[in-house]
Chain A
Amino acid sequence: MELDVSLSGDTATVTVAGSRIDAAAAIGFKEAMRAAVPAGSRRVLLDLGQVAFIDSSGLGAIVSVMKSLGDGQRMELASLQPNVDRVFRLTRMDTVFVIHDRVQDAAPGHAG
C-alpha cells in the first residue's frame, strides 16, 4: 500500500494513497506504516482523506500500528469520509483516537 509522508516539526503526516483499507490490504498497510513512520516523530497524523472504505480488518490494522508506536509517540487521524467515520463511531474508536476534520486543523498549534 502506498503512503506519502511529510514531516513538519515533530509531526509526521502519513497520507494513505489508496481508497480501501480492507482485509486484503490490512497486512500491507501495517508493513508500510511501520516502514514509513520515522522513529523520531512524536506525533503521527494519519490522513485518510482518500480512503472511501475501511472494514474491521483495516480498523484492526490501524489499532495495531498505534499500539506498536514507541513511548512518546502518538497517532491522530484526519479527514475521515462518511463511511470511514461510521466504522470508528460504531466501534467507539472515536473515543480512543483524536480525530481532526481536516489535516490543516491538526497543524501544530491547532492540535486537540
Chain B
Amino acid sequence: MPAEPGMGRVATVSAPRPGPDPFSTEFTASALAVRQALTGFADWIAPLDLDEVETGAAELVLAEALNNVVEHAYRDAGAGPVMLHCSFGQGGLSVLIRDRGVPMPSMRVPLADLADGQRSPVDLREGGYGWFIIRDLARDIGYERRGAENTLTFRIAIGRTLWAG
C-alpha cells in the first residue's frame, strides 16, 4: 500500500512494526510440489531482507520437514494433502505443517543421531540426515496426531530483531 507523502514516517518509528502477513500454502505431496512451496516461501521471506544464511536455514528445515511428509507419511498411502503455515513472532519464524498420512513411528518425532562408525566412506549412509538437520536448526519441535492428521510445529530463531509481535 503506497504511503501518504509525509505521513507514514513518524508512525513507523514510534510504533512497533507488526510482522508480515503469514504465509500459507496447500499442495498435494510430491517432491516437485515441495520445491514449489519452498519457492513460495522464499518469495514471501525475501522482502524482509534477512541474512542469506538465516533465510537458507529456514528453507533447509522446511525442505527436510516437507520431504519427510512426502517420503514417509505418504510413502505407502499415496500422495495426499500437505498444509504449510509460516508466521513471524517474537520467537522468530513459527512453522506448522499438517498432513493426513501415516503417523510418525511411535507417535513421536524421531530422535536423530549421526551414527558412530560411519566415517569411513564404505559405511557412509545415504539417508537419515533430515531429522538431524531439523533438530539442529529448529527449536520447540512439537508433534501431534489427532484423528487422521499429523501436525508438526517448530520455531526457527531468525528475524527476531525485526519483528516484535
The yes or no answer to B121 lying at the interface (CB within 8 A) is yes
* Distance in Å: Cβ of B95 to nearest Cβ of chain A: 16
Known: A83-B53, A90-B132. A67 touches B122 (CB 8 A): yes
The yes or no answer to A60 lying at the interface (CB within 8 A) is yes
If over half of A's interface residues share one DSSP class (helix, strand or loop), that class is named, otherwise mixed; here it is helix
The yes or no answer to A76 lying at the interface (CB within 8 A) is no
* Distance in Å: Cβ of B74 to nearest Cβ of chain A: 13
Query: Which one of B52, B71, B126, B133 lies within 8 Å of A82 (CB-CB)?
Result: B52
CB closest residue in chain A, given B120:
A96
- The distance in angstroms between the C-alpha atoms of A57 and B129, with both chains bound, is 8
Query: Which one of B53, B56, B126 lies within 8 Å of A63 (CB-CB)?
Result: B126
Q: Are B129 and A59 in contact (CB under 8 A)?
A: yes
Known: A87-B133, A96-B119. A22 touches B53 (CB 8 A): no
Query: Which one of B71, B126, B130 lies within 8 Å of A67 (CB-CB)?
Result: B126
For A27-67 the 0/1 string (1 means CB < 8 A from B) is: 00000000000000000000000000101110111011011
* Distance in Å: Cβ of B36 to nearest Cβ of chain A: 9
CB closest residue in chain A, given B61:
A55
- The distance in angstroms between the C-alpha atoms of A57 and B57, with both chains bound, is 16
For A65-85 the 0/1 string (1 means CB < 8 A from B) is: 011000000000000001100
Between B53, B63, B126, B128, the greatest number of chain A beta carbons within 10 A of the residue's beta carbon is seen for B126
A96: B residues at CB distance < 8 A = 119, 121, 124
B117: A residues at CB distance < 8 A = none
CB contact list, B101-127 vs A, under 8 A: 114, 119, 121-122, 124-127
- The distance in angstroms between the C-alpha atoms of A62 and B125, with both chains bound, is 11
CB closest residue in chain B, given A53:
B59
- The distance in angstroms between the C-alpha atoms of A63 and B120, with both chains bound, is 12
The yes or no answer to A86 lying at the interface (CB within 8 A) is yes
B126: A residues at CB distance < 8 A = 60-61, 63-64, 67
Known: A53-B56, A66-B121, A90-B136. A60 touches B127 (CB 8 A): yes
Interface residues of A (CB under 8 A from B): 20, 22-24, 53, 55-57, 59-61, 63-64, 66-67, 82-83, 86-87, 90-92, 95-96
- What are 22 pairs between A and B in contact, CB < 8 Å? A22-B31, A22-B63, A23-B31, A23-B34, A23-B70, A53-B59, A53-B63, A55-B63, A56-B129, A57-B31, A59-B129, A60-B127, A61-B126, A64-B126, A66-B124, A82-B56, A83-B53, A83-B56, A86-B56, A90-B133, A90-B136, A96-B119
